[in-house]
């Protein structure tokens, strides 16, 4: 595994036939390893980036306290068949400090998670754009757990014509359904139990969709589970358009991301499932 620290070192890396890139902020865990496994399936050369991006933090204190564990990250990656790591310094990525030219996630950056964290998705798509230029992948893999990030990155690539395929790796769940998240360690045993309501609500909504229910009934099936639970401080439970994260309602038919965000104790959790409302006709229209 080759460690590169500068854009010049990265550019000198010989290319495989198909380069798959996984972008991370380090502090790697099981969730990242599932992205790397997916990258291995999709490419013959896997490059992992490790960079704590200051542009996507709303608070300086959060950025300062974000764990930086490069040595442990490299040790974790070594047995996973990663060919190269790109771990630039902040000065390498932003030599003049905060960049003048940035990318906007548009309306996607202002709703749902974007409303809770103003500027976050603009910071994400700006660094993703830079890392796509620097790593020049054929395919880049993102975790489906961060649905709005995936939607923002797909919009970036689609709207600005980046020549790259965006792939997702399925959310990793514990046996009881709880989505794995680095925030789960903050949950007490009781809160962890309460948190299961989120995945239960999503699965109930998905079951209703698969049973052919219309969108309002699908959302109602999920909300019924969350509304009855005092321990869950619901922020949103919504059906999103996978193209632009706008909220869907009424007689919409087609693919939807059903997303939930809620506070359990002091911990804010997010989760989602992708499903379909209606079924496609032979012509591909949704009925």
Q: Which is closer to ligand PAF, CB of 23 or CB of 270?
A: 23
Interface with ligand PAF, residue 23, by CB under 6 A: yes
Q: How far is the CB of 124 from ligand PAF (least distance, A)?
A: 5
Closest CA to 245 of 109, 57, 43: 109
Q: Which is closer to ligand PAF, CB of 144 or CB of 232?
A: 144
> Which range in 22-30, 216-224, 239-247, 268-276 contacts ligand PAF by CB under 6 A?
22-30
Q: Which is closer to ligand PAF, CB of 128 or CB of 172?
A: 128
Strand ordering across the sheet containing 232-240? 232-240, 254-264, 267-277
Do 58 and 19 touch, CB atoms closer than 8 A? no
Whole-angstrom distance, CA of residue 271 vs CA of residue 57: 20
Q: How far is the CB of 1 from ligand PAF (least distance, A)?
A: 19
Residues near ligand PAF (CB under 6 A), total:
10
> Which range in 104-112, 120-128, 206-214, 259-267 contacts ligand PAF by CB under 6 A?
120-128
Q: How far is the CB of 25 from ligand PAF (least distance, A)?
A: 4
How big is the chain, counted in residues? 287
Whole-angstrom distance, CA of residue 274 vs CA of residue 243: 12
In this structure, are strands 84-86 and 45-50 parallel, antiparallel, or unpaired?
parallel
Two structure tokens written together for 33: 């390893």
Considering the candidates 32, 120, 133, 193, report the single residue annotated as catalytic. Answer: 32
> Which range in 23-31, 132-140, 178-186, 262-270 contacts ligand PAF by CB under 6 A?
23-31
32 among known catalytic residues: yes
User: Using CB under 6 A, which of 1, 25, 76, 217 touches ligand PAF?
Assistant: 25
User: Using CB under 6 A, which of 10, 28, 105, 127 touches ligand PAF?
Assistant: 127
Interface with ligand PAF, residue 24, by CB under 6 A: yes
Q: How far is the CB of 22 from ligand PAF (least distance, A)?
A: 9
Give the helix ranges, DSSP H, for 111-256: 113-116, 120-135, 147-159, 189-210, 215-227
Q: Which is closer to ligand PAF, CB of 138 or CB of 146?
A: 146
Burial class (CB in 10 A: 0-12, 13-18, 19+), 98: exposed
Distances in whole angstroms, Cα of residue 246 to Cα of each of 86, 123, 148, 195, 264: 34, 20, 10, 25, 25
Interface with ligand PAF, residue 272, by CB under 6 A: no
Identify residues 144-173 at the interface with ligand PAF (CB under 6 A): 146, 149
Using CA atoms in the order 111, 181, 123, 62, what is the torsion angle rounded to 10 degrees? 110
Whole-angstrom distance, CA of residue 13 vs CA of residue 96: 25
Q: How far is the CB of 229 from ligand PAF (least distance, A)?
A: 28
Interaction site with ligand PAF (CB under 6 A): 23-25, 53, 56, 124, 127-128, 146, 149
Q: Which residues are catalytic?
A: 32
């Amino acid at each position: 595994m080759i460690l590169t620290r500068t854009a010049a070192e990265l550019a000198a890396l010989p290319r495989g036939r198909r380069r798959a890139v996984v972008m991370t902020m380090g502090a790697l865990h099981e969730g990242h390893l599932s992205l790397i496994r997916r990258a291995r399936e999709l490419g013959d050369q896997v490059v992992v980036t490790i960079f704590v991006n200051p542009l996507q933090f709303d608070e300086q204190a959060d950025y300062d306290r974000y764990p930086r564990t490069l040595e442990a990250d490299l040790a974790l990656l070594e047995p996973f068949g990663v060919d190269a790591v790109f771990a630039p310094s902040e000065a390498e990525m932003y030599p003049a400090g905060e960049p003048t030219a940035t990318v906007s996630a548009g309306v996607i950056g202002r709703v749902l998670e974007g409303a809770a964290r103003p500027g976050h998705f603009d910071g994400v798509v700006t660094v993703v754009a830079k890392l796509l230029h620097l790593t020049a992948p054929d395919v880049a893999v993102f975790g489906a757990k961060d649905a709005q990030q995936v939607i923002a990155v797909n919009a970036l690539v689609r709207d600005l014509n980046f020549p790259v395929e965006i792939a997702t790796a399925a959310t990793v769940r514990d046996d009881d359904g709880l989505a794995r998240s680095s925030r789960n360690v903050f949950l007490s045993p009781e809160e962890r139990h309460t948190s299961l309501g989120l995945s239960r609500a999503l699965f109930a909504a998905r079951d209703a969709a698969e049973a052919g229910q219309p969108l309002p009934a699908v959302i109602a099936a999920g909300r019924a589970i969350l509304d009855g639970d005092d321990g869950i401080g619901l922020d949103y439970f919504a059906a999103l358009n996978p193209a632009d994260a706008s909220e869907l309602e009424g007689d919409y038919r087609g693919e939807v991301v059903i997303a939930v965000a809620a506070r359990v104790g002091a911990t804010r959790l997010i989760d989602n499932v992708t499903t379909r409302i209606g079924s496609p006709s032979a012509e591909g229209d949704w009925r």
